[in-house]
Copies of this chain bind each other. A is one copy, B any other.
Amino acid sequence: MTHKGFTLWLTGMSGAGKSTIAEQLMAGFHAEQAKVELLDGDIVRTNLSQGLGFSREDRDTNVRRIGFVCEILSRNGVIAVVAAISPYRATRDEVKAKIENFVEVYVECPVDVLASRDVKGLYKKALAGDMANFTGISDPYEPPENPDVVIHSDTETLSESVDRIWRELERRELITRATDLPA
């Protein structure tokens, strides 16, 4: 596989499947010896945004910092994969405008499905009114208006989702593979 530098940005609510998809993509990129970095919530909170909270201002600062790192990676031929709630449309669009090759993936999942999965027990708390600033419940989530890929993580398999993202990257000639996709 050859590839250009680009940013693949996964946005969506907590528990929708961003990190799972990102890790699956990373495995594929690593198998192809691509130059690639994952910027997910934990990595970013530890290394770039320690001390920031969940106000709109702090969330925006966090997203802009991730965007800055993506920008300098992408323009030097490196793939940046982001898994971050990044709830505000205007801030995502601001980052998008700065990065030449930017692929926005909306990982969509209905709130009732998220609340029934509730892997971390957070939706229950938020729905009970015990969690301020919880995206999608007590804080806004603004879906992208024109995402490049929409993933419906409640109705499609992980491999279907990942496969659609690969195809979008190929279609835009951000990656070029010598052989066809495995069936």
Contacts and interface: CB of A to CB of B under 8 A. Distances in A.
A47 B76 contact: no
Contacts of A36: 76
Interface residues of A, number: 17
Interface string A29-63: 00000011100000000011011000000000100
B77 A64 contact: no
Contact of A69 (B50, B61, B69, B77): B69
Nearest to A78: B76
Nearest to A80: B72
Interface string A78-92: 100000000000000
| Residue of A51, A76, A78 with most chain B CB atoms under a 10 A cut-off | A76
Nearest to A44: B68
A103 interface: no
Given A35-B77, A72-B37, A76-B78, A61 B50 contact: yes
A35 to B, nearest CB: 4
Given A47-B65, A51-B61, A78-B78, 17 more contacts: A35-B76, A35-B77, A36-B76, A37-B72, A37-B76, A47-B64, A47-B68, A48-B48, A48-B65, A48-B68, A69-B72, A72-B73, A72-B78, A73-B73, A73-B78, A77-B77, A77-B78
Interface of A: 35-37, 47-48, 50-51, 61, 64-65, 68-69, 72-73, 76-78
